[in-house]
Amino acid sequence: MAYSYLPVGCDGSLYDDIATPVANKVFFAGEATSRAFPQTVSGAYTSGLREACRILDLEEEAQQTVLDERPTDLDTSAVNMEI
């Protein structure tokens, strides 16, 4: 259990920097990533929700891409219609 603090002269954008995912593969939560509620359990908790939602959104996007790239018509040329 700990909490972050900003050095004198820094602004809140540092929290956003720390919260930035790496290559959409590594995600960061914790009060130190919460610009709205730094130094608090609320910040830790809500940042976890934020990252969970981010991951779900990415997963949804990936699934949509797979659906969009599906062939729309069956390729009937390969089907032998002779009876």
Ligand X SMILES: Cc1cc2nc3c(=O)[nH]c(=O)nc-3n(C[C@H](O)[C@H](O)[C@H](O)COP(=O)(O)OP(=O)(O)OC[C@H]3O[C@@H](n4cnc5c(N)ncnc54)[C@H](O)[C@@H]3O)c2cc1C
User: Given the complex with ligand X, which of 42 and 64 has the nearer CB atom?
Assistant: 42
Q: In angstroms, what is the minimal distance from the CB of 54 to ligand X?
A: 17
Which residues of this protein are in contact with ligand X, per CB under 6 A?
1-3, 30-31, 39-42, 44
User: Given the complex with ligand X, which of 20 and 63 has the nearer CB atom?
Assistant: 20
User: Given the complex with ligand X, which of 5 and 67 has the nearer CB atom?
Assistant: 5
Q: What's the rounded Cα separation, in Å, for the pair 12 and 34?
A: 9
Q: What's the rounded Cα separation, in Å, for the pair 16 and 38?
A: 11
- Contact between residue 62 and residue 39 where contact means Cβ atoms under 8 Å apart: no
